Amino acid sequence: MKAERFDLILKGGTLVTPAGPRAADVGVRDGRIAALGTLDPDAGEQVIDVRGLHVLPGVIDTQVHFREPGLEHKEDLASGTAAAALGGVTTVFEMPNTTPSTLTALDLQDKLSRAKGRAWTDHAFFMGAAAENVEHLAALEQQPGCCGVKIFMGSSTGSLLVDDDETLLQALRNGRRRVAVHAEDEARLRERLALVRGGADVAQHPEWRDVETARLATQRVLNLARRAGRRIHVLHVTTAEEIPLLAANKDVATMEVTPQHLTLTAPECYQRLGTFAQMNPPIREARHRDALWHAIDQGIVDVVGSDHAPHTREEKARSYPTSPSGMPGVQTLLPLMLDHVNAGRLTLERLVDLVCAGPQRIYGIAGKGRVAVGYDADFTVVDLKARREITAKWLAAKCGWSPFEGITVTGWPKATIVRGNIVMREDELQGDPTGQPARFVETLSGDAGD
């Protein structure tokens, strides 16, 4: 009998599978996982020794802002996906608040063409919801390369905003895929702007954009989602007060938290980092961070996403509140979360649920999110014991800074593999960018060009 051949074998690692950790080799053929078990190393064109390492399904970051087109001085699709690959991320979902905003099939097509041959990771793009495209959202969300619709209920970076119930309901009624929502109440934000307008201490950011601003918006969008019969995904949840609302509505709503809201707290972060800690929704006091961890423990949180939102040092150094909100994070998401695993705050299996299986489940990504035969050969190989400092030198994002610089973490990505292509090893990018659009179960028939 002819022995089975593989393009690549990962030899001797611990696989994190849906059934838990398992000591086994993985064989890859034609970009897919072809076998798990004890494999003859001679059967592989290429063999990587992963003894002592864990092989996770490729990490999927479902919230990044890569700024192209229009704001390339902050980031672009090449630098953003390079940062992703160096951080162990194999797939990214990119947000629509670019210039122009992503509002039409042409805007989406433009992003896909720009990513071709330049993206280091697989990728998909959100379609922004706005009054001008609300009638077309059902068709727009079906475009290949689209991960779904994103609604900004409160204004943040860029001009995207849908803040009235009527347009929100229209957006929720036009389409069927899960809708991602930035839930801050615009009317309350405007009402409270006087608190900081004209200059204030950045530590007041969570007072302006207060708990009630988030709670109100989340409650409103949950009610509207139920009326529309539409699934939603509430992005970067930051308050203890939203958790019971989301837990009571798991049938229609999933939720995301970010590593920065799980790691930083007010007021310390503002004292230490000033406006570099400013983001929307804000970093809040320890009781909220603790509530987010409790929600992870209770199974309420579905996804951890980075909300990678780079701005240059010069932009961030402006005086508050003219300083822009957002911080980079795609490259530090996994090291920070592995450090939390090592500190005993969650298990490695729960982390894989949050950054691999969770994204797959809520967005219906085709062929990703688990180490199983037939799935894409996307792997994030990690050394759980490596102690490493996060340094500016290691960062690939154009902005060149991170709020986590100088922090030493335990747990580090050693290799990033996308559909069998090794794109990062030992902190170095490998070969050429080979990222492709991600595919989705709800629009597979639309992916005719595959």
Catalytic sites, residue numbers: 307
What are the helix (H) ranges across 47-129?
A: 77-86, 105-115
E strands present in 287-370:
303-304
Instruction: Tell me how far apart the 2 most distant CA atoms of the chain are, in Å.
Output: 78
Phi, psi (degrees; rounded to nearest 5) at 297: -60, -35
Length of the chain: 450
Among 54, 150, 177, 182, binds ligand DOR (CB under 6 A): 182
Instruction: State which residue, 63 or 254, has the beta carbon closest to ligand DOR.
Output: 63
Token output for 247: 């837990």
Does residue 97 bind ligand DOR (CB under 6 A)?
yes
Instruction: State which residue, 192 or 388, has the beta carbon closest to ligand DOR.
Output: 192
Does residue 238 bind ligand DOR (CB under 6 A)?
no
Task: Return the ∠ at Cα 126 (arms to 122 and 131), rounded to 5°.
Answer: 170
Instruction: State which residue, 65 or 419, has the beta carbon closest to ligand DOR.
Output: 65
Task: Give the residue carrying structure tokens 């530090």.
Answer: 332
CB-nearest residue to ligand DOR:
326
Task: Give 136-191 as a DSSP string.
Answer: GHHHHTTSTTEEEEEEESS--SSS----SHHHHHHHHHS--SPEEEE---HHHHHH
Instruction: State which residue, 324 or 435, has the beta carbon closest to ligand DOR.
Output: 324
Instruction: State which residue, 261 or 439, has the beta carbon closest to ligand DOR.
Output: 261
- Restricting to residues 273-312, name those near ligand DOR by CB under 6 A: 279-280, 309
The SS3 assignment for 372 reads coil
The SS3 assignment for 247 reads helix
CB 376 within 8 A of CB 367: yes
Among 121, 156, 238, 443, binds ligand DOR (CB under 6 A): 156
Side chain identity, residue 180: A
Burial of 18 (0-12, 13-18, 19+ CB in 10 A): middle
Q: How far is the CB of 192 from ligand DOR (least distance, A)?
A: 17
Q: How far is the CB of 294 from ligand DOR (least distance, A)?
A: 24
Q: How far is the CB of 185 from ligand DOR (least distance, A)?
A: 14
Crossing angle of helices 105-115 and 77-86, in 10° steps, is 60
Does residue 65 bind ligand DOR (CB under 6 A)?
yes
Separation of alpha carbons 288 and 27, rounded Å:
43
The SS3 assignment for 272 reads helix
Instruction: State which residue, 325 or 402, has the beta carbon closest to ligand DOR.
Output: 325
Q: How far is the CB of 300 from ligand DOR (least distance, A)?
A: 22
Q: Is the preceding omega at residue 403 within 30 degrees of 0, hence cis? A: no
Instruction: State which residue, 28 or 183, has the beta carbon closest to ligand DOR.
Output: 183
Q: Which of 125, 275, 285 minimizes the C-alpha distance to 206?
A: 285
Separation of alpha carbons 3 and 42, rounded Å:
10
Does residue 77 bind ligand DOR (CB under 6 A)?
no
Does residue 98 bind ligand DOR (CB under 6 A)?
no
Q: How far is the CB of 324 from ligand DOR (least distance, A)?
A: 6
Give the total of residues touching ligand DOR (CB under 6 A).
Answer: 10
- Restricting to residues 323-362, name those near ligand DOR by CB under 6 A: 325-326
Q: How far is the CB of 389 from ligand DOR (least distance, A)?
A: 25
Instruction: State which residue, 275 or 360, has the beta carbon closest to ligand DOR.
Output: 275
Non-local CB neighbours of 146 within 8 Å, separated by 6+ positions = 108, 124, 125, 126, 127, 140, 440, 443
Q: How far is the CB of 333 from ligand DOR (least distance, A)?
A: 15
Separation of alpha carbons 213 and 216, rounded Å:
6
Does residue 157 bind ligand DOR (CB under 6 A)?
yes
Does residue 416 bind ligand DOR (CB under 6 A)?
no
The SS3 assignment for 14 reads strand
Q: How far is the CB of 421 from ligand DOR (least distance, A)?
A: 29
**Positions in the binding site for ligand DOR (CB under 6 A):** 65, 97, 156-157, 182, 279-280, 309, 325-326
